[in-house]
């Protein structure tokens, strides 16, 4: 499925299915560990004066080495106790420069999934490039600021915390694909098995979309995808071993081609954010195709193309529709008439579609009222 990673048989707990990802050999010269912050809120500055506020429970730190592959211990995680007593009068705030920044000569700190989410929120963030008459003064002056999206903490996805605590970590495991109610929720991979063991618990602090939260809330049990071994040709332990390996290969092929076949979008976009001594930290966006899976994410890849680090987020249908509308508007220079014609609709229908997607503020109020009146006449 992914260069350098192989799929192993899944483990199921209720509606949660975890599919291990293993490596034959760890990715050389790159390690990852977790850094905890005491402050419950972090203000992230992009360097050009723009900033946003986010809850940042931890950051990932990628450490690389130019030397030979000497054994290295995992940094692991720490659990810090808060001081007792009355709550402080003010909330502590940490100021951080940029989404991904050098934390030393051989270290890069970045906030997990924030690179990917920032890429989605910044999609055509400036708004209309040309001040067509339909767009409001606010749209022309401020664009799509502010943009906001709702997500759920992994702790709120029913069954996920229990599954992560109960399931075994496979030998050589460097990653996992998380399914909730047969929906691919996220993919996570790191360079070394020790890194994965240290960062495995952080999955409950990841971001998950509304679809994943609802699937966990409904609690629909995951289906049985195991295939029985045909025992008619089993004559020895070697025959049984061969049959088991064949079943494992068939499961991996089915999973990679069918269940996770839409994780990466060939028609999507990719942006390199940082370079790390031969490694590239990048984020990717999908093509925002309707009625299909759309994942955003971030990767670290080596010079050989192997994925050393991966973390993804499944967009909800509403988030896909917003990205789709913004993309089509940008393709047609933000002209409502041309965009509506390309979508097989009229201007009134597109205007109301923008309003339902949460972009009604981009249109002038009198123009939006006019299109609403037209829609009422048609009904």
- Residue spans of the domains in the chain: they are 6-76+92-259, 335-378
Q: What's the confidence (pLDDT) of residue 183?
A: 92
**CB 319 within 8 Å of CB 290:** no
- CA 349 – CA 335 distance, rounded (Å): 14
Beta bridge partners of 64: 30
Strands 16-22 and 307-314, bridge-based pairing: unpaired
**Buried-state track 336-373, b at ≥16 Cβ within 10 A, e below 16:** beebbeeeeebbbbbbbebbebbbeebbeeebbebbee
Say if residues 362 and 355 touch (Cβ distance below 8 Å).
no
Tell me how far apart the alpha carbons of residues 120 and 115 are, in angstroms, rounded to a whole number: 9
- Count helices and strands (H / E) in the chain: 10, 18
Instruction: Compute the C-alpha angle 179/16/5, nearest 5°.
Output: 45
∠ CA 76-119-102, nearest 5°, is 45
Cα 296 from Cα 151, distance rounded (Å): 13
3-class DSSP state for residue 99?
coil
* Tens digits of pLDDT across the chain (379 residues): 577 899 998 999 989 999 999 998 999 888 887 776 555 555 555 445 554 445 455 566 676 554 444 433 333 333 334 444 443 333 333 444 445 555 566 777 777 787 888 888 888 877 887 878 889 988 888 888 777 888 888 999 999 999 999 998 999 999 999 999 889 999 999 999 999 999 998 899 888 988 899 999 988 888 777 777 877 778 889 888 888 888 888 888 888 888 899 999 999 999 998 887 888 989 999 999 999 999 999 999 988 889 999 999 999 999 999 999 999 999 999 999 999 999 999 999 999 999 999 999 899 999 899 888 887 776 6
The conformational region for residue 277 under phi > 0 = left, psi -120 to 50 = alpha, else beta, is left
Residue 29 has what pLDDT? 86
Rounded distance between C-alpha atoms, residue 146 and residue 137, angstroms: 15
Q: What is the pLDDT of residue 222?
A: 83
Q: In this structure, is the dihedral angle defined by the CA atoms of residues 19, 22, 28 and 31, taken in order, positive or negative?
A: positive
Distance CA 277, CA 27 (A): 14
How many residues would you count in the chain?
379
User: What whole-number distance in Å separates Cα of residue 183 and Cα of residue 10?
Assistant: 14
Nearest C-alpha neighbor of 311 from the set 62, 97, 96:
62
Residue of 225, 224, 222 lying closest to 15 (CA atoms): 222
pTM more than 0.85: no
pLDDT at 377: 76
Q: Which residues pair with 153 in a beta bridge?
A: 207
Q: What is the pLDDT of residue 245?
A: 84
The pLDDT tens digits for 317-335 are 999 999 999 999 999 999 9
């Amino acid at each position: 499925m992914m260069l350098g990673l192989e799929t192993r048989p899944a483990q199921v707990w209720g509606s949660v299915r975890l599919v291990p990802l293993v490596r034959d050999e760890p990715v050389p010269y790159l390690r990852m560990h977790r850094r905890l912050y005491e402050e419950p809120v972090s203000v992230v500055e992009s360097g050009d004066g723009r900033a946003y506020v986010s809850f940042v429970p931890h950051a990932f730190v990628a450490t690389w080495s130019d030397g030979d592959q000497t054994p290295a211990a995992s940094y692991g995680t720490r659990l810090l106790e808060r001081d007792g007593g009355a709550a402080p009068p003010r909330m502590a705030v940490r100021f951080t420069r940029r989404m991904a920044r050098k934390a030393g000569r051989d270290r890069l700190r970045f906030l997990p999934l924030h690179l990917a989410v920032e890429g989605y929120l910044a999609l055509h963030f400036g708004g209309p490039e040309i001040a067509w008459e339909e767009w409001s003064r606010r749209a022309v002056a401020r664009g799509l600021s502010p943009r906001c999206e709702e997500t759920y903490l992994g702790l709120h996805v029913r069954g996920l915390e229990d599954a992560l605590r109960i399931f075994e970590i496979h030998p050589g495991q460097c990653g996992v694909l998380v399914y909730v109610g047969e929906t691919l929720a996220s993919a996570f991979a790191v360079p070394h098995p020790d890194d994965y063991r240290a960062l495995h618990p952080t999955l409950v602090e990841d971001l998950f979309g509304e679809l994943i939260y609802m699937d966990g809330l409904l609690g629909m049990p995951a289906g049985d995808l195991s295939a029985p071994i045909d025992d008619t040709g089993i004559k020895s332990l070697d025959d049984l071993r061969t049959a088991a390996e064949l079943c494992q290969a068939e499961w991996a092929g089915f999973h990679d081609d069918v269940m996770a076949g839409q994780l990466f979008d060939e028609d999507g976009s990719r942006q390199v954010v940082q370079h790390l001594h031969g490694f590239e930290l990048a984020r990717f966006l999908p093509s925002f195709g309707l009625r299909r899976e759309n994942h955003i994410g971030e990767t670290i890849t080596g010079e050989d193309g192997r994925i050393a680090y991966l973390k993804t987020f499944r967009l909800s249908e509403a988030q896909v529709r917003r990205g789709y509308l913004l993309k089509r508007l940008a393709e047609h220079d933000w002209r409502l008439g041309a965009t509506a014609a390309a979508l097989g609709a009229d201007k009134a229908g597109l205007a109301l579609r923008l309003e339902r997607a949460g972009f009604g503020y981009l249109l002038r109020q009198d123009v939006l009222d006019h299109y609403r009146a037209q829609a009422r006449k048609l009904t």
